[in-house]
Chains A and B, each alone.
Chain A
Amino acid sequence: MDFIKESLKELCSLMTVSGFEKKSRTRLFEIARQYFDEASEDSFGNFIFVKKSLNNNAPRLMIDAHFDMVGMMVTDILEGGFLSVTNIGGLDARILPSAEVTVYGKREIYGLISSIPPHLSKSGKGNVPKIEELYIDTGYSKDELKELVPVGSPVVINGEYTELQNGFVAAASLDDKACVCAIFDAVRRMSAEELKYDIYATVSAQEETGKCGAALSACRIRPRMAIITDVNFGAIEGDKDYDSIVCGKGASVDISALTDRKLTRGVMRLLDKEGVPYQRICEPSYTYTNNDLVSVTGEGIPTVLMSIPLRSMHTPVETVCLKDIRSLADILIRVAYTEKTDLEAI
């Protein structure tokens, strides 16, 4: 678990607002280089890391997690030294007023989202203000900000990595760095001799803003099959109606019309046979993950979707259980040691 804790903390400290993933390329390469044989990137901000099997002519297995995170972008610098912003990805507007942020201008600038007190609010008490009505306060003057912050600079809502009890952790961007971490943990422990595939780990850009990144990598890699990993809604108090997976009970294998039926069933039966615990969740149609575009890339790619349960999605206190990250890594290793035809035959 120490590896998972340390690398997760490090991954969550990286600024990867959608469209700006490349800004964290140096550190990501340093981390990944320890476990992979090859590393590359493309114009879009996708990273591809390869671990080779010792078996000659092994087919390619793509394992994907997205690197990007929701955030904001500076749209204007206003009188009085305020910054107006727009959202990048589906930000939960309810958590914005009085949030602490970091503006990535020419250098990092600490800021606060100013909050109009209820006495003065035009939208009235109890209404969630829209993002266009909120402004970042940095204490700088307009002229100083004009020097420091080009329009278009990304903004992150601060959510430092924090350990809770019973192996739970909270941080901004655990969606989907928990899965990036699981892939790294899996690959680190994979033996090249036993690998039935060359592993192409894709750490993809812009899942939160259109899900195109992984599909571009899939087009480049042309894998025999792909496993997409992302977070999914972990059961949370107050949302009893939602038929969801539970934090702490392991990663899930997702069932969807847009994943490969045979492979998904094969993975489940393999895990059943070997007594590996996992959860199941149904996403009948769209899964709203990179799976939806990867599965229809090129002539079509058979995919399996796996999830880590996560609570408080798209907030700075996204919460996961470390056990579930380890569980996903264990499942990935088992699949990587099993040939595709064997999976389909189980």
Chain B
Amino acid sequence: MTELLKKLMLTSGVSGREDKIRDVIKAEAEKYADEVITDPMGNLIAHKKGNGKKIMFASHMDEIGYFVTFIDEKGLIRVGNVGGINTLSASYSEVVSEKGVYGVVLPSDSGEIPKTDALYIDIGAKSKKQAEKRVSIGDYFVHAPHIKRLSGNIYTGRPIDNRIGCLVLLEALKNIKTTDNDLYFVFTVQEEVGLRGAKPVAYRIEPDIGIAIDVTSAGGKPTSPKTKVKMGGGVAIKIKDASVICSYEIVEKMRELCLDSNIKYQDEILLKGGTDTGAIQTAKMGCLVGALSIPTAYIHSTNEMIDISDVKEAIKLTCVIAERI
């Protein structure tokens, strides 16, 4: 599992530029799905055919990053954000462009926690002319991807949000036993910029049930938001986040499945931040939705952190949902 996780983590894919990560996922999904297609927006849809309930699983494959807006006279690169940048963590961190140009993110000189539009990237160019040889307006930059095992089950790196969800879906796709259900494993684009990819896919598939897989904020650290969710506490069953109130029938069903199958779980109410769940629930004529989450500390920083034991529970739950819901 860690080999696949590494591959997923180390391939970049900022929202709107998911081509490379999609290729990695596609190669893996094609081994186990009956059919794999890419829709016009770039969502990857792996279909495992059946005659039963139509279930759509969705995990977004995009990640936050930057795009170049202009290059100033000194050769410093001004950028706009793609998704919610944690500017405290971003300051002085390493970034790399889609063309492979490395740089360092600089905050403006105010000394306070910078706003996103005050960030520069220094690629070491001495002038505008020099910088323009390697960077063009519209180029994407991304925080350098990495993954490390800290100790035991604890891993840190980026973008755990949401390559870890992609891993859960791919592992589930591989491990699902026979079922009548008609299963769609969808790797969505542009979640980080407003849940944009999941909606047209749900519109196309018209699932009976939609299940999103994403990260959620874990508590227990000095900087954590107030939440009951803990790393190592098992897979989190989402009840609500800022984008969705999950269908309570699905929440109850997921709890039941966990109890039946001895899966360690915890309840999740996320007060800030949304997920594809909300977009799927309200596409076309709507469908029942639920979501399962991986408790993650320091989301959207350059060092997100998870307990891999939660990921294993998430894979188990995804499998039993696919087989038995």
Contacts and interface: CB of A to CB of B under 8 A. Distances in A.
A212 interface: yes
Interface in B116-159: none
Interface of A: 18-20, 42-44, 46, 73, 75-76, 86, 88, 132, 150-152, 206, 209-210, 212, 215-216, 219-220
A76 B286 CA distance: 29
B174 interface: no
Interface residues of B, number: 21
Interface string B202-222: 000000100000000000000
Interface-central residue, B208, B269, B271, by most chain A CB under 10 Å? B269
Given A151-B269, A152-B239, A215-B282, A43 B288 contact: yes
A20 B285 contact: no
Given A44-B281, A152-B239, A216 B245 contact: no
Nearest to B271: A86
B286 A43 contact: yes
B286 A216 contact: yes
B226 to A, nearest CB: 7
Contact of A73 (B226, B239, B247): B239
A151 B286 contact: no
Nearest to A68: B245
B26 interface: no
A149 to B, nearest CB: 12
B282 A210 contact: yes
Contacts of A76: 228
B247 A132 contact: no
A88 B251 CA distance: 17
Contact of A216 (B246, B248, B285): B285
B248 A19 contact: yes
A43 B278 CA distance: 13
A156 B208 CA distance: 30
Contacts of A151: 228, 239, 267, 269
A177 B97 CA distance: 54
A75 B248 contact: no
A46 B286 CA distance: 10
Contact of A75 (B228, B281, B285, B287): B228
B115 interface: no
B240 interface: yes
B292 to A, nearest CB: 14
Contacts of B251: 152
A212 B199 CA distance: 13
Contact of A20 (B248, B282, B287): B248
A186 B173 CA distance: 53
Contacts of B287: 43
B245 A19 contact: yes
Contacts of A132: 226
A86 B269 contact: yes
Contact of B278 (A20, A46, A210): A210
Contacts of B284: 216, 219
Contacts of A215: 282
Nearest to A85: B269
A26 B247 CA distance: 18
Nearest to B210: A43
Contact of A43 (B228, B247, B269): B247
Determine which residue in B208, B226, B282 has the highest number of CB atoms from chain A within 10 A of its CB, and name it.
B282
